[in-house]
């Protein structure tokens, strides 16, 4: 195999292995004014083009907004919610997720969530996924989300 092909293959393999080689970390994180708990994702096979992430974000001070996130697990991260449209549940992208002063935003199945579109690899039960949340006031907060079995509620 030519050297350039070997390097490309090794780079692709290294990118695919990030899910299983990340050190174990808590599904909790904090920044000034923000506490994040109960983070997790659901397993999603490679045939699936998307996955979802969930957590509870609590404000310990002033109101804030989650305005974006990024992760090596996907090419297109989006903030989403579910809406009931004429009896049909549909997902919709949202601009931001509000965290009220002294309150919380619960990202959960069937509600607000992180949408991982164009997955870079399968989300396998037991894996850990690095995510950087971007807040309007608190800035960037790194968290590692454990992947639970498909259909998990927590």
pLDDT in tens, 40-90: 999 987 677 899 999 999 999 999 999 999 999 999 999 999 888 888 888
- According to DSSP, the residues that pair with 123 across neighbouring strands are 44
Max CA-CA distance within the chain? Answer: 59
The residue ranges of every structural domain in the chain are 3-148
pLDDT in tens, 2-53: 544 444 343 344 344 344 334 334 477 878 899 999 999 999 876 778 999 9
- Full-model pTM: 0.79
Name the architecture of domain 3-148: Sandwich (2.60)
């Amino acid at each position: 195999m030519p050297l350039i092909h070997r390097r490309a293959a090794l780079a692709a393999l290294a990118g695919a292995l990030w899910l299983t080689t990340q050190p174990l970390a808590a599904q909790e994180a904090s920044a000034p004014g923000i506490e994040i708990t109960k983070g997790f994702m659901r397993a999603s096979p490679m045939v699936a083009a998307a996955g979802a992430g969930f957590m509870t974000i609590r404000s310990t001070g002033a109101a804030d907004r989650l305005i974006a996130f990024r992760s090596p697990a996907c090419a297109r991260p989006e903030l989403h919610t579910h809406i009931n449209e004429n009896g049909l549940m549909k997902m919709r992208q949202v601009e931001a997720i509000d965290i009220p002063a002294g309150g919380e935003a619960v990202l959960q199945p069937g509600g607000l969530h992180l949408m991982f579109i164009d997955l870079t690899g399968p989300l396998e039960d037991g894996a850990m996924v690095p995510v950087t949340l971007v807040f309007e006031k608190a800035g960037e907060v790194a968290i590692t989300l454990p992947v639970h079995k498909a259909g998990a509620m927590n």
